[in-house]
Amino acid sequence: MNPISPTLGGLDDHLKYLKLSYIADKYAETATKASKDEWSHIKYLATLIEGEAELRQGRATQRRVRQARFPVVKTLDQFIWSWPKKINRLQVQNLFKLDFIKKKANVIFLGGVGLGKTHLTTALAYDACLQGFSVLFTTAIDVINCLSAAHEAGRFQQELKKYLKPALLILDELCKALHNSSYVKLNVM
């Protein structure tokens, strides 16, 4: 028999109502450990709250990664620095501080096919998700097509918000989109 059960009353119902799933799952187990190790009430409560906060942070990160719509998740650790030979490694690594997001500045990776631009932008965007920034990863041609269709349907402004909302917008294959498509003039107001 669990010695704390009779005094809990509607605790499980309250935790469920408040959506404190980590605490609901772990309070009894943690109470047993706290009793055995002679924790203070504050340490017991702090341990439960820390676990709840970590769970929520993890879920928020997973949600940001899912909403970013990465084709494949890449990290900077996976990047092969021996190719291309002339890449400025320190400059690229400095971007991962994400100061440009805070300053609302732009970063452009420009180069030939197969040099790792998509890998680096994906890694940069993934890191931004981990650090709490909202991200959208898309191709330039998808944006052009989507905004063109929205313009024709009279929904341009609301569709444009989808691209302006994230803290970081990655437009992959920009040069390819401009080279392979006819130019569409849109009047943005």
Is residue 89 one of the residues assigned to a domain? yes
**CA nearest 143: which of 39, 69, 77?**
69
Tokens of 99: 């100061």
**CA nearest 57: which of 131, 135, 134?**
131
Q: How confident is the model at residue 188 (pLDDT cuts 50, 70, 90)?
A: very low
Final residue of a structural domain among 31, 46, 68: 68
**Domain residue limits at 154:** 76-180
Q: How confident is the model at residue 172 (pLDDT cuts 50, 70, 90)?
A: very high
Final residue of a structural domain among 34, 68, 102: 68
Is residue 186 one of the residues assigned to a domain? no
Mean pLDDT of 137-148: 94
* Neighbouring residues of 63: CB distance < 8 A, sequence distance ≥ 6: none
Is residue 44 one of the residues assigned to a domain? yes
Can you give the CATH number for the domain in which 131 is found? 3.40.50.300
* Res 174: pLDDT: 78
Mean pLDDT of 2-23: 79
* Res 185: pLDDT: 41
pTM (2 decimals)? 0.80
